Amino acid sequence: MGKFGGNHTTIIGGRKGRKIVMEIGRSKLVKKVIPGIIKVGMSPGGFKAKFLRPDSRGNLRLLLREGSTVQEIFIVTKASTHSEGLEIVKELEKLLFRVYKS
């Protein structure tokens, strides 16, 4: 897909992490998905995915955690304001929930 960019191609979280990112990339509300660097933290745990607040232009960050590893996924949306970004988060969270259930 032409929506993916950046220097990092690895997505943490195994199949579930990759599936989440691919589904987000398929959304009509998303222009580009850019995986960030992978950082190793200190706290153990399972896999989690969470959207952070949109910036002033409506773009998002998705935080993936697997064990003590953390990765930010930058998401360029079709929104042009913070409030439009909040609406897109609601739609993408529904998608995230569907992926978690499967």
Residue 2 lies in a domain: no
| Residue 25: DSSP 8-state | H
Q: What pLDDT is stored for residue 6 in this prediction? A: 83
Which residue, among 102, 30, 24, 5, has the nearest Cα to 63 in the 3D structure?
24
Evaluate whether residue 97 is within a structural domain.
yes
Q: Does 8 fall in a domain?
A: no
Statement: residue 60 has pLDDT above 60: yes
The 10s digit of each residue's pLDDT in 37-52 is 999 877 777 899 999 9
Q: What is the pLDDT of residue 58?
A: 96
Range of the domain at 54: 14-101
40 within a domain of the structure (yes/no): yes
CA distance 79 to 76: 8
Total count of domains within the chain? 1
Whether 48 is covered by a domain: the verdict is yes
In a domain, 5, yes or no: no
Q: Could you tell me the pLDDT band of residue 94, with boundaries at 50, 70 and 90?
A: very high
Answer whether residue 60 is part of any domain: yes
Q: Please report whether residue 77 resides in a domain.
A: yes
